[in-house]
């Protein structure tokens, strides 16, 4: 196991290098010149040339990339063209908002998805099965931005039940703390602010979790149907065990092995998928911030966000593989020579 973990950690290096090369080439070759965007349309050519020289944009692209990698290894991802603040500071001041939304979304998607998948499997070809698969079909087919707009129209515009944007009402915004508003309000015992934070979370969480919910539902159903046809399930039934015990303790537990992998991968995807959700709901996380920076050609911020998300995604994959090994002792890591 230790040898496998070390190998996977070493594999992170070429993966992240590949990500940085791709995003660096995209921002330098395909993106528009940031000088007129930053300085404005009426800036003189001399001013734009001086700005490019000050930010090293006149250097060869391989030299620019080398400077970026060397600085990144020291924790310096550059400086934002607009705020003149360190990119690391800009990202991590907004990251708790994105992480809180992604965690809530994956929890909702996992609980509902596993529940619907189990129900669909034990009631195959019945009304509950068809209803669950219909929900999964909607989740897979509907884009995040479209489902978000529909949720805003229904619950905020027509019913006036829920707020449509932001993380919390301005008068109740927590100060200091961790940046995770649920945790901050719990630690302070501010139940009014906690209720307001949860209300603001409902719509973006539903919109973001819908696709992952559909994937988890389908995977749980498929995996559990395979488990229900195994010999050990028939043996458990022959022993006289209750149907609920067989379904939950035996079939569902075995079916959770591949589902665990899907949940982990979906969590990594939610961090990237939050771009559209945060834009629709004006959620002040790194997703909305990245979209704004793309429109402004703020290269350092774009590179920093992509590098952060890629790192988290790789780490999540590694953690999922390790958990999978603990859930299924039959899995052996290593080469045949090691065995």
Nearest partner of 174 among 96, 253, 282, judged by Cα: 96
76, pLDDT greater than 70: yes
Name which residue leads in pLDDT, 336 or 261. 261
pLDDT above 70: percentage of residues in the chain: 94
pLDDT band at 54 (very low <50, low <70, confident <90, very high): confident
Q: What is the pLDDT of residue 179?
A: 85
Q: What is the pLDDT of residue 206?
A: 92
Q: What is the pLDDT of residue 339?
A: 45
Q: What is the mean pLDDT of residues 240-251?
A: 77
333, pLDDT greater than 80: no
Rounded to whole angstroms, the Cα distance separating 312 from 271 reads: 9
Q: What is the pLDDT of residue 332?
A: 57
Name which residue leads in pLDDT, 268 or 200. 200
Are 10 and 22 contacting, i.e. CB atoms less than 8 angstroms apart?
no
Dihedral sign for Cα 49, 55, 60, 61, please.
Answer: negative
Dihedral sign for Cα 197, 200, 206, 207, please.
Answer: negative
pLDDT band at 337 (very low <50, low <70, confident <90, very high): very low
130-142 residues labelled b (16+ CB within 10 A) or e (exposed): eebbebbeebeeb
Cα-only R_g, the chain: 24
108, pLDDT greater than 90: yes
- Please list, in sequence order, all residues whose beta carbon lies within 8 angstroms of the beta carbon of residue 19, skipping any fewer than 6 positions away: 306, 307, 310
pLDDT in tens, 308-321: 888 888 888 778 77
Cα-Cα-Cα-Cα torsion 170, 171, 172, 178, nearest 10 degrees, comes to: 60
pLDDT in tens, 117-165: 988 888 888 898 888 889 888 888 888 888 889 999 999 989 889 998 8
| Residue 248 neighbours by CB distance under 10 Å | 13
| Mean of pLDDT over the chain | 83
Are 94 and 286 contacting, i.e. CB atoms less than 8 angstroms apart?
yes
Name which residue leads in pLDDT, 81 or 250. 81
Q: What is the pLDDT of residue 27?
A: 78
pLDDT above 90: percentage of residues in the chain: 14
Phi-psi region of 190 (alpha: psi -120 to 50; beta: other; left: phi over 0): beta
Full-prediction pTM beyond 0.95? no
Q: What is the pLDDT of residue 155?
A: 92
Q: What is the mean pLDDT of residues 11-20?
A: 84
pLDDT in tens, 265-303: 888 778 766 778 888 898 888 888 888 888 887 888 888
pLDDT band at 201 (very low <50, low <70, confident <90, very high): very high
Rounded to whole angstroms, the Cα distance separating 95 from 91 reads: 6
Q: Which residue has the tokens 């399930």?
A: 233
Q: What is the pLDDT of residue 330?
A: 59
Name the helix (H) or strand (E) containing 313. Answer: helix 299-327
How many H helices and E strands in the chain?
A: 14, 0
Q: What is the pLDDT of residue 101?
A: 92
Are 289 and 94 contacting, i.e. CB atoms less than 8 angstroms apart?
yes
Q: At 71, list the tokens.
A: 């600085």
pLDDT in tens, 189-199: 889 989 999 99
Q: At 242, list the tokens.
A: 């209750």
Rounded to whole angstroms, the Cα distance separating 222 from 246 reads: 17
Distances (CA, A) of 71 to 13, 95, 277: 16, 21, 31
pLDDT band at 111 (very low <50, low <70, confident <90, very high): very high
Q: How many residues does the chain have?
A: 339
Rounded to whole angstroms, the Cα distance separating 207 from 105 reads: 8
Nearest partner of 290 among 55, 27, 7, 298, judged by Cα: 298
1, pLDDT greater than 80: no
pLDDT in tens, 176-186: 778 888 988 88
Nearest partner of 300 among 9, 104, 18, 20, judged by Cα: 20
């Amino acid at each position: 196991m230790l040898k496998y973990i070390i190998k996977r950690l070493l594999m992170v290096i070429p993966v992240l290098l590949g990500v940085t090369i791709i995003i660096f080439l995209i921002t330098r070759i395909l993106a528009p010149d940031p000088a007129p965007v930053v300085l404005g349309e009426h800036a003189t050519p001399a001013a734009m040339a001086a700005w490019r020289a000050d930010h090293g944009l006149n250097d060869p692209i391989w030299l620019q990339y080398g400077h970026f990698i060397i600085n990144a290894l020291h924790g310096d991802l550059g400086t934002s063209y607009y705020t003149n603040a360190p990119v690391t500071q800009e990202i991590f001041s907004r990251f708790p908002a994105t992480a809180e939304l992604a965690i809530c979304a994956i929890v909702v998607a996992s609980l509902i998805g596993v529940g619907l998948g189990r129900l669909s499997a034990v009631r195959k070809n019945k009304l509950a099965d068809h209803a669950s698969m219909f929900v999964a079909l909607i989740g897979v087919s509907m884009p995040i931005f479209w489902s978000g707009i529909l949720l805003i129209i229904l619950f905020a515009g027509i019913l006036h039940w829920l707020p449509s944007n932001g993380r919390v009402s301005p008068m109740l915004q927590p100060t200091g703390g961790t940046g995770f508003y649920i945790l901050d309000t719990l630690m302070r015992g501010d139940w009014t602010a906690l209720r307001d934070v949860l209300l603001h979370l409902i719509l973006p969480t539903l919109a973001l979790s819908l696709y992952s919910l559909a994937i988890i539902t389908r995977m749980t159903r498929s995996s559990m149907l395979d488990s229900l046809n195994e010999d050990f399930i028939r043996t458990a039934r022959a022993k006289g065990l209750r149907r609920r015990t067989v379904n939950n303790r035996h079939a569902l537990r075995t079916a959770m092995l591949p589902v665990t992998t899907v949940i982990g991968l979906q969590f990594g995807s939610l961090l990237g998928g939050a771009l559209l959700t945060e834009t629709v709901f004006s959620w002040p996380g790194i997703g909305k911030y990245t979209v704004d920076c793309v429109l402004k050609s703020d290269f350092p911020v774009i590179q920093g966000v992509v590098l952060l998300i890629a790192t988290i995604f790789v780490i999540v994959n590694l953690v999922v593989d390790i958990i999978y090994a603990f859930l299924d002792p039959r899995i052996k890591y290593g080469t045949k020579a090691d065995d």
